[in-house]
Structures are given as C-alpha cells and as structure tokens.
Amino acid sequence: MTARRYAVAVQKGGAGKTTTATQLAWGLAARGKRTLVVDLDAQANATVTLLGAKSDFPYTANDLLFAPGKAAVLQRAGENLFVVPATLRFSMAERQIASLPPYESPFLLANALERIDGEFDFVLCDLSPAHGGVFVDAVIACPTIIAPAEANHLAIQGVPDLQDEIARISASGVAGASRTLRFLATKCCDHQTAPREALKTIEELCGERLLRTRIPRSAAVEQAMGKGIPIFDRRFRDSPAQGAFTSLLDEFLELAEATRG
Ligand SMILES: Nc1ncnc2c1ncn2[C@@H]1O[C@H](COP(=O)(O)OP(=O)(O)OP(=O)(O)O)[C@@H](O)[C@H]1O
Ligand SMILES: [Mg+2]
C-alpha cells in the first residue's frame, strides 16, 4: 500500500465531514500530492462539490465496493485530484453489505482500494453520518479516522461513542492494526458563549486526539462549499478560514509524516 488512507467520519450530520474531506483534498492536490476522494455517501455532496453538475458516471462507489471485476474509471477534478463519485444508488449499500457473509463484508473497501490506490499519495473517504457496514469497511480500510466535531453542545454527544466504536473495531483484530482517531473542532465561534463552552468540552473529551487547528464558523466556508471552490482561492484571502484550512493542511501533513510506516 503506497497511499495514505483516511476516513472522514462522525455520526453527527452536518459536522463538516464533506467540507473537511474536499477542502483537504484541494489543498493536498495544490501541494502536488496525488489525491483521491472516495465519496461513500449517497447524498453525494463531495461528488457535487468536486465535480459540479456532472452525472452519468461510468464508475461509482457502488462499482468500487460491489463490482470488483469492473475496470475503475476515476473522475478527474483537477490537477492531482481524482474522485470516485457517489450517486443516490449508494443508499442501497448498507443493505447490500448486510447481505454478504461476515468474512467478506468488512473488507470490500480495503480490497477495492488495494486495486486502485497505488498511484496516489492520499485517499480521503467521505462518509455519511450513518454508522453501519460502510463505516466499518472504512475503518478497516483506513488506518486514520478524522472526525469533525462541531463546536455545538448538541453535536458533541457522539464523541465518546465514536471513540468506543473505533476502539472496538481496532481491538477485534479484524482491522489488522490499531486505528488512529483524530478529532477536528469545526464551526468554532470565539465570541459566543455556547460554542466557546462546547469547544472546551470537546477539548476535555478528546484530549490529545484533538487536532490543534480550530476551524472557525465562517461565511467564506459556506460560500466556498456552496460554489464548489477551494477555500484556498484568492477571493477568500482575507478570511480567517483560509488561514485555518492552511494550518489544517500543514498539521495533516505532519500527522501523515508521524504515522508513516
Ligand atoms: N466552518 C464552517 N463555517 C460555516 N459553515 C460551515 C463550516 N463547515 C461546514 N459548513 C457548512 O455546514 C454544512 C454542513 O457541512 P458538511 O456538508 O461539510 O457536513 P457533513 O458532516 O459532511 O454533513 P453530512 O453529515 O450531511 O454528510 C454545509 O452547508 C457547509 O457549507
Ligand atoms: Mg457530508
């Protein structure tokens, strides 16, 4: 395996998984890293963000998991950046995985990536908030899980669950080796009491598993995601969010270096 694989996952909807996966992917590609985004969410938000209104894909996440004999056709989203898109049909994936025998179902993604990720430096898998078979497959395929934690008191309740769940999958031996879990505080808002307190709770719950970068709640991020453009674009140069994502990219590359091997 040459590519570093990451799953961006957390049960909380809207925490910033797709934002993190796509913006990191753009940043990595711009730094010359060959990057593959695998959209494992039937909402297809990463697909739309990176590929715009394109559709009728000859090869999708369904083929990646369930048609191992089919030649992969990766969608190019820019220099150094490729995508395995998802479509609404991926909503059947959980049921399809559940119908397979337990010696097969957890390894679909790991086996699939083995076939296609040889030419990449990084693979980022964007997950849905559901934690079923696709999530288990992603944890088994990806040594590191990045979990965006939204600085909001309702959003942080899932944090201990995720730690336990990943620890259980790690300890089961099915994953082959232990997993690294890193939380990322998103939608931080210093000047409001509730998000500030929520961030404090996240810091206490996650300890050293929390990445040091704080992603601010920012209109620029919303705008970038709405338009499907990188936050690194010149038009956002005055936004603190651009600086935050640049720091995240630096930290991510440091982490990748530290967990090498
Ligand atoms: N730092 C931020 N500041 C402001 N808005 C943000 C920020 N991060 C994400 N958003 C917005 O929040 C919404 C949810 O973000 P995103 O789609 O990344 O979450 P998600 O975890 O992938 O959601 P889902 O669970 O539905 O897949 C989007 O509209 C996005 O533009
Ligand atoms: Mg998403």
In this prediction, residues 187-204 reach a mean pLDDT of: 91
Q: What percent of the chain has pLDDT over 90?
A: 82
- What's the 19 CA to ligand 2 centre distance in angstroms? 7
In this prediction, residues 141-166 reach a mean pLDDT of: 87
- Phi, psi dihedral angles at 176 (to 5 degrees): 90, -40
Residues with CB under 6 A from ligand 1: 13-19, 41, 43, 45, 128-129, 186-187, 215, 217-218, 221-222, 225
Q: What percent of the chain has pLDDT over 70?
A: 99
Of 85 and 195, more confident: 85
Nearest ligand to the CA of 11 is 1
From 8, 12, 18, mutation site for ligand 1 pocket: most ligand atoms within 8 A of C-beta: 18
Residue 62 has pLDDT above 60, yes or no: yes
Helix ranges, 86-186 (H):
93-98, 108-116, 133-141, 159-171
What pLDDT band is residue 261 in, cutting at 50, 70 and 90? very low
Alpha carbon distance 153, 190 (integer Å) = 14
Residue 167 has pLDDT above 50, yes or no: yes
- What's the 99 CA to ligand 1 centre distance in angstroms? 32
In this prediction, residues 160-184 reach a mean pLDDT of: 88
pLDDT in tens, 112-124: 999 999 999 999 9
In this prediction, residues 66-70 reach a mean pLDDT of: 96
The answer to whether 120 and 74 have CB atoms below 8 angstroms apart is: no
The CA-atom distances, in angstroms, between 110 and each of 89, 180, 208, 226 are 21, 16, 28, 31
Name the residue at shortest CA distance from atom 23 of ligand 1: 14
The CA-atom distances, in angstroms, between 142 and each of 4, 9, 52, 54, 87 are 8, 11, 26, 28, 22
Q: What pLDDT does residue 174 have?
A: 83
What pLDDT band is residue 48 in, cutting at 50, 70 and 90? very high
Q: What pLDDT does residue 221 have?
A: 98
Residue 40 has pLDDT above 70, yes or no: yes
Of 255 and 2, more confident: 255
The CA-atom distances, in angstroms, between 235 and each of 46, 220, 230, 260 are 21, 9, 10, 35
Residue 106 has pLDDT above 90, yes or no: yes
Looking at every residue in the chain, the average pLDDT score rounds to: 94
Q: What pLDDT does residue 155 have?
A: 74
In this prediction, residues 49-78 reach a mean pLDDT of: 96
The parent domain of residue 150 ranges over 4-258
> Would you call 247 helix, strand, or coil by DSSP?
helix
CA of 226, closest atom in ligand 1? 31
Tokens standing for 159?
């944090």
Please name the amino acid found at residue 40. L
Tally the domains of the chain: 1
- What's the 46 CA to ligand 2 centre distance in angstroms? 7
Residue 125 has pLDDT above 80, yes or no: yes
- Comparing C-alpha atoms, which of 192, 196, 162 is closest to residue 179? 162
Residue 199 has pLDDT above 80, yes or no: yes
- What's the 95 CA to ligand 2 centre distance in angstroms? 20
DSSP 166-184: HHHHHHTSTTSSPPEEEEE
Alpha carbon distance 45, 47 (integer Å) = 5
Q: What pLDDT does residue 1 have?
A: 52
CATH classification of the domain holding 239: 3.40.50.300
Q: 95-101: which pairs have CB atoms within 8 A and are 24 or more residues apart?
A: 96/65, 96/66, 97/65, 97/132, 97/133, 97/134, 97/137, 98/132, 98/133
Alpha carbon distance 242, 43 (integer Å) = 26
- Residues 6+ positions from 78 with CB-CB distance below 8 Å: 26, 29
- What's the 244 CA to ligand 2 centre distance in angstroms? 20
Q: What pLDDT does residue 260 have?
A: 65
Q: What pLDDT does residue 158 have?
A: 73
Name the residue at shortest CA distance from atom 5 of ligand 1: 222
Least reliable range by pLDDT among 47-51, 57-61, 87-91, 194-198 = 194-198
pTM: 0.97
In this prediction, residues 2-28 reach a mean pLDDT of: 95
Alpha carbon distance 50, 223 (integer Å) = 14
Alpha carbon distance 65, 232 (integer Å) = 32
Place of tokens 């693979």: 123
